[in-house]
């Protein structure tokens, strides 16, 4: 039970990041790695504004705004300079590291004795762990609700169309480049919200927290889509939130079982690979009876495989 709570506690902090990944990858079909950088600059902004004496909600909104700007830059580079999104994201994430240091004026800041949403909830006599679950869960659910509501409007429908087939969407009168720009800004604002949550909950901010964080979001998406496969919006959003919590619970169990924390990244990769395998092959990976069919499916995959040019 304790392990489940630890999993939920940390997982929910990454809920908004999962939502951002869902929006960028599942809805817009844009593999935007800028989310990792936005997580960092969001956390840096959230920390710097909190230290400067702003209230936690303002700090959160400021972090999200800076994240949205990062997404905006990526989207404009993609739509104006026609740069590949993947490549742009890698470059932006690298730049974000320096931007985070510039925002904070230093590589790390301490947020001890600074008011955050977490300390505010603890003021009601709630334990540290429950406070984290309440705040992170509340923020994740609020943002998930807003995202789901938006995607059900006509404008949100147009954004989904943009991610499905640009040519068809445009012939329906949809100005696809605008939806890509708005969508990436929203996705990066979500990732930045996660950054603020993580920085505020752990009581300090170090630029290195952004390193490799995109994998957490991807894991959330893949685990979620495996548990709850659906093309619909609300199941998709629930899936990604469930995914991030399940993923952290698995990690928590592994740590409890005595796996050293240094192996965490290897562990994450293995978890993601395991879920991808389950997703692609269903339960029985090596049942002899279906060998012929699997072989056919594999050849089909090779037939349909396509090369993607990065530059």
Q: Rule CB under 8 A: which residues touch other proteins?
A: 150, 152-155, 157-158, 160-161, 163-165, 167-176, 231
CB of 149 to other proteins, least distance (A): 9
Please say which residue, 4 or 146, places its beta carbon nearer to other proteins.
Answer: 146
CB 258 within 8 A of CB 246: no
Please choose, from the candidates 215, 212, 217, 211, the residue with its C-alpha nearest in 3D space to the C-alpha of residue 191.
Answer: 217
Least separation, in Å, of the C-beta of 175 and other proteins?
A: 5
218, 275 contact by CB (below 8 A): no
- Residue 43 is encoded by which pair of tokens? 């956390």
Phi and psi, residue 108, nearest 5° = -150, 145
Q: Residue 273, Cβ neighbours under 10 Å: how many?
A: 11
Question: Contact at 8 Å (CB) between 90 and 104?
Answer: no
Nearer to other proteins, 48 or 169 (CB): 169
Q: Which is nearer to other proteins, 170 or 281 (CB)?
A: 170
> Taking every pair of C-alpha atoms in the chain, what is the biggest distance, in angstroms?
66
Between 171 and 305, name the residue whose CB sits nearer to other proteins.
171
Minimum distance, C-beta of residue 267 to other proteins, in the bound complex (Å): 33
CB of 283 to other proteins, least distance (A): 24
- Residue 179 C-beta: closest distance to other proteins, Å: 9
Question: Among residues 176 and 268, whose Cβ is nearest to other proteins?
Answer: 176
Tell me the three state secondary structure of residue 206: strand
DSSP strands (E only) in 90-219: 108-110, 204-206
Least distance from other proteins to the Cβ atom of residue 224, Å: 17
Measuring CA to CA, which residue among 170, 240, 186, 276 is closest to residue 26?
Answer: 240
C-beta closer to other proteins: residue 165 or 263: 165
Q: Look at strands 108-110 and 204-206 and give their pairing.
A: antiparallel
Report how far residue 245's alpha carbon sits from residue 166's, in angstroms, rounded to the nearest whole number. 33
Closest contact distance (angstroms) between CB of 311 and other proteins is: 17
Nearer to other proteins, 71 or 156 (CB): 156
Give me the helix-helix angle, 264-281 and 233-256, nearest 10°: 130
């Amino acid at each position: 039970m304790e392990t489940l709570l630890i999993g939920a506690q940390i997982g929910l902090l990454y809920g908004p990041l999962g939502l951002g990944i869902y929006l960028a990858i599942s809805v817009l079909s844009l593999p935007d790695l800028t989310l990792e950088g936005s997580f960092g600059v969001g956390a840096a902004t959230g920390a710097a504004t909190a230290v400067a004496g702003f209230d936690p909600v303002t700090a959160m909104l400021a972090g999200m705004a800076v994240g949205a700007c990062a997404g905006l830059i990526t989207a404009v580079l993609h739509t104006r300079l026609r740069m590949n999104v993947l490549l742009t994201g890698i470059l932006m994430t690298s730049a974000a590291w320096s931007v985070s240091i510039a925002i904070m004026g230093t590589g790390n800041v301490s947020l001890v004795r600074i008011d955050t949403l977490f300390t505010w909830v603890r003021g009601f006599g709630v334990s540290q762990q429950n406070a984290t679950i309440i705040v992170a869960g509340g923020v994740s659910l609020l943002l998930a609700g807003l995202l789901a509501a938006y995607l059900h409007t006509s404008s949100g429908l147009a954004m989904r169309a943009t991610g499905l087939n640009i040519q068809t969407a445009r012939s329906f009168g949809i100005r696809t480049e605008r939806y890509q720009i708005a969508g990436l800004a929203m996705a990066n604002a979500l990732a930045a919200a996660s950054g603020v949550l993580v920085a505020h909950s752990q009581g300090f901010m170090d630029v290195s927290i952004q390193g490799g964080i995109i994998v957490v979001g991807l894991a959330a998406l893949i685990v979620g889509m495996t548990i709850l496969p659906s093309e619909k919006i609300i199941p998709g959003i629930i899936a990604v939130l469930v995914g991030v919590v399940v993923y952290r619970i698995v990690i928590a169990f592994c740590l409890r079982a005595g796996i050293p924390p240094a192996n965490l990244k290897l562990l994450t990769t293995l978890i993601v690979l395991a879920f991808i395998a389950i997703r692609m092959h269903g339960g029985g990976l090596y049942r002899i009876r279906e060998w012929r069919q699997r072989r056919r499916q594999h050849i089909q995959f090779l037939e349909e495989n396509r090369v993607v040019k990065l530059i």
